[in-house]
Amino acid sequence: MPNIMLVMHRKAIAQGLMAKLQKNADIKLIYEPNYDKAQINIDSNNAKVALIEASESGPYNMGYCLILCNEIRKNTPDCKLLLMCSEQDEKSVKLVIEAKGKKKIDDFVFYDVTIDYLASKLMSI
């Protein structure tokens, strides 16, 4: 059963994903709202995927999340990285596209995706 780490502040999204995938015995979701504990929890839970939300403001913005992704990629290269960001922030969109092109992340989604789409994305990555 692959473990998927949800590193995010949007608790409603995390809860929606957990409810959507609770009957799927092939996946275990782990919610971590503390970004500073992401690497430790990815390691201790042997997470195969990390969904990381880049906030529009505050300390966990796109710059911070890209640094976090670099650290995770360096320390846990087998963990797939999916970044979630705002489609409204052109600078963040440019950075996330660039990060994917340079293989610093595996993929990205925007805030406005549906829970169904996000669940299928996590299962397919």
Token pair of 18, please?
């957990």
Sign of CA dihedral 2, 9, 77, 95: positive
- For position 23, what pLDDT does the model report? 81
Bridge-partner residues for 53, per DSSP? 84
The residue-averaged pLDDT of 104-123 equals 92
* Predicted pLDDT at 34: 95
Q: Tell me the whole-structure pTM to 2 decimals.
A: 0.92
Q: Of how many residues is the chain composed?
A: 125
Domains of the chain, CATH where assigned: 3-124 (3.40.50.2300)
C-alpha distances (whole Å) from 82 to each of 23, 61, 64, 104, 118 are 22, 15, 15, 10, 10
Q: Is the pLDDT of residue 1 over 80?
A: no
